[in-house]
Amino acid sequence: MSTTSVYSIRIDSRVRKMIDELDDPTWQDELRAFIERSVRRRRKAQLLARARETHRSLDEGPPAADLIREDRDAR
């Protein structure tokens, strides 16, 4: 079971009035979905940037062909 949390934001009172006038109960679900997509996209970009930075900082190892040949020779 997933727990939920309330996150409060301030919006222009005119926008809030328009939301109330729409009388559409799905706006909350739409906003929640938008926020979730946005957070996931940004988190993915953050993790990718971190992975790229880690990859750049790694020393280059021996060529794969050498490792395969060494493994075959050891048998």
The pair of three-digit structure tokens given for residue 54, joined into one six-digit string: 């880690």
Tens-place pLDDT, residues 23-71: 888 988 999 999 999 999 999 999 999 999 998 888 888 888 888 888 8
Global pTM reads 0.65
Q: Would you kindly state where each structural domain of the chain is located, as residue ranges?
A: 13-73
DSSP readout, 1-25? ------------HHHHHHHHHHT-T
pLDDT score recorded for residue 61: 81
Largest Cα span, the chain: 77
